Structure 1
């Protein structure tokens, strides 16, 4: 069975039992990945409006103003 590749350098990454940095091949690649997250190089896409159908609609500004 082949080893998974490190997402940073594409070298084979040893299994977790042998490699505390898994899924990366080394501590260096793990630190590079963390730096990319902290530097906001990775982005999680915003949900589209059709994916928000299960959310409650926003509060109306005229609600509760008849006091």
Structure 2
């Protein structure tokens, strides 16, 4: 049962309701399973932050 002050959000992975509370170790996910699926998607590069690809010369001193 949700706490009265708990905010309910949709799990980013499965869209089920999840409680946004300090004692929810998986927030914003509903479970450890959904958190690990999302982590695997980042590791497999199925998720990406949009932007320009890095230039190979960006790290060289001027």
Q: What is the TM-score of this pair, normalised by structure 1?
A: 0.61
Query: When you count helix as a share of all residues, which structure comes out higher?
Result: 1
Query: When you count strand as a share of all residues, which structure comes out higher?
Result: 2
- Give matches, 1:23-42, under 5 Å: 23-42=28-47
Pick from 44, 49, 53: which aligns with 1:44?
Answer: 49
Partner of 1:13: 18
Runs of 5+ in structure 2 lacking a partner?
Answer: 1-5, 53-61
Q: What is the TM-score of this pair, normalised by structure 2?
A: 0.65
Please list every run of at least 4 consecutive aligned residues from structure 1 whose deviation after the TM superposition is greater than 3 angstroms. none
Runs of 5+ in structure 1 lacking a partner?
Answer: 48-58, 60-67
Aligned length: 48
If asked which structure has higher relative contact order (CA below 8 Å, sep 6+), I would say: 2
